[in-house]
Structure 1
Amino acid sequence: MVKTKPIGSKKNTSNSKAKTVALLFSGGRDSSLACGVLAKKGYQIYLLTFNNGATIRQDLADNRYEELFKKFPDAIIKREIIPSYGLFKDLGLKNLEKDIKKYETNLICMSCKLSMHVISLIYCLENDIPTIADGYTDYQKKWIEQMPEAIEAVKRFHEEYDIKYINPVYSETSKEQVKDKLMKFGLSTKSLEGTCLFGGTFSIPEPHRVVSYIEDKLPQCRRYIKSHFDEKTDNFP
């Protein structure tokens, strides 16, 4: 399931994993700032980049990763590039017509993020990582996956597996703030992330519709996680 990006990979030699985190990493400004904030707080960081099958120039994030590793070599353990398109298709595309009729908007981006969270949960359970983080921000909260209500719903899902879900840069209220803090870290202020074909292809829904969508998809997410571990062992965590 996992492809390893070997540039700068190293073994986590810490005796305690209490401050180890898996960061959903696109290479964009917000997830890059989240990496810097987590590094400054003393976290050991695994950067997880997901291939949803619909992103143009995802390789741009490689440049950001190299920049971050040079800046925080003691904090970044490794980067993983993980395919998420199979689960994304199952969650968001197979029943797309029914979902649009039910929720009255296109919620594909939420299913894409859910697939990332599910695979991140598996990664953390397998590698004894207690925390998952992302680069969500207040100034982006109009987007469905970054709505406070959606974040809380996903957070409750993580708690089912004893994994903490945090948003270290959610207090950022503007792109200018993020760029200013990146500059203070000595990082590029450019957004070095690919462009998803599904970005901006939907109207903004009411938060309760997003939460309902998430809750309707979670049983499928749970089955995916259970199936993954059932194939490997009888001892499901």
Structure 2
Amino acid sequence: MNPSGKAVAILFSGGTDSTLTAAMLQENFEKVHLVTYDRFGFHATDNTAVQTQALKERYGEDRFVHTFLNVDKLFQHVSYENYFENIKKHGLFNLSTCGLCKLSMHVRTIKYCIDNEVYFVADGANQAMTMEPAQMKPVIDEMKRMYAHFGITYFNPVFEMDGPEDKDFINKSNAKLLARESDYSVASFENEKTPGFRLYKMGLAPSPNVKGSDYDKKRQPRCFQFIIFNIFALKYFMANKTYEEYTDLTTKFYSDKIKSMIKLIENRNDKKVKEMLD
């Protein structure tokens, strides 16, 4: 059961999962804040306007507020703070670019919520994205504690839904790599528990299985820095360790990072920190 209230902020990429999250939560909240992030390395962030317009046409123009925020300075800080200390303690997890990027978005979302008196935050995190740090349940639990520290409830409406049949090549690689460790298999698009199927039934997607398709790509930003993360996670780390070890060490790294981010947000009125967060 999803919470309800006056307003909710959604980390909005315009992709299948975040679009479904927005469509679901408009039933529970009077106002839905769609927050899209931009930084150096992102391309076509304005693609998200396509799904925003679709949501407004379906549920009402006044139900959604779409905001674009830049996290360049914040992402740099999240990536490089305590850099050598983190290398000494956690190894090369500083190359976990996708997770660090998402952490910077979450930190900025907390600032956005404080400024706009929003007490609920959601995103499209989904259990099928097995390698992405910000979509691992143990890391999500750490994120929830960070939000709770500032009186905000963070939740993931589509997390338990199944993944689609036609996954992008990253997840195909992940599935192949993890086959030795588990019975991981992708779900059929006929499965009503996939986000794509739900969007299709709502009339917000042309077919039940659009995730990773050209249609999907034209509705969300593109970033190719995931290649660094992919090399680190798949080619380096998982070459001789289990997925369970990867999850455990990833969680420890992000737990330390999140502790630092809590201190950063607490000092949000400091001039240097304010420049980073604004």
TM-score class normalised by the smaller sequence: 0.7 to 0.9
Structure with higher Rg: it is 2
Task: Specify which of 237, 248, 252 is matched with residue 212 of structure 1.
Answer: 252
- Tell whether the 8 Å contact from 1:44 to 1:76 is kept in structure 2 after alignment: yes
Task: Specify which of 182, 187, 205 is matched with residue 199 of structure 2.
Answer: 182
1:115 aligns with 2:104: yes
1:33–1:219 CA distance, 2 compared to 1 (3 A): same
Inter-partner Cα distance in structure 2 for 1:69 and 1:99: 44
Task: Specify which of 20, 25, 32 is matched with residue 38 of structure 1.
Answer: 25
1:224 aligns with 2:213: no
- 1:5 aligns with none
Q: Residues 86-105 of structure 1 correspond to what in structure 2 (within 5 A)? A: 86-93=73-80, 99=86, 102-105=90-93
Amino acid at match of 1:60: N
- Tell whether the 8 Å contact from 2:139 to 2:255 is kept in structure 1 after alignment: no
- 1:194 aligns with 221
Inter-partner Cα distance in structure 2 for 1:93 and 1:85: 12
- 1:172 aligns with 161
Runs of 5+ consecutive residues of structure 2 not aligned to the other structure: 165-188, 238-245, 274-278
Inter-partner Cα distance in structure 2 for 1:52 and 1:210: 24
- Larger RCO, structures 1/2 (Cα 8 Å, 6+ apart): 1
- Tell whether the 8 Å contact from 2:147 to 2:154 is kept in structure 1 after alignment: yes
- 2:34 aligns with 47
Q: 1:156 Cα shift?
A: 0.9
What fraction of aligned residue pairs are identical, expressed as a percent? 25
**TM-score, reference length from structure 2:** 0.70
Runs of 5+ consecutive residues of structure 1 not aligned to the other structure: 1-16, 233-237
Aligned to 1:140, the other structure's residue is in SS state coil
**TM-score, reference length from structure 1:** 0.82
- Tell whether the 8 Å contact from 1:46 to 1:78 is kept in structure 2 after alignment: yes
Inter-partner Cα distance in structure 2 for 1:161 and 1:94: 22
Task: Specify which of 72, 81, 86 is matched with residue 59 of structure 2.
Answer: 72
Aligned to 2:161, the other structure's residue is in SS state coil
* Structure in which a larger fraction of residues adopt helix: 2
Structure 1 stretches of 4+ with a deviation exceeding 4 A read 93-101
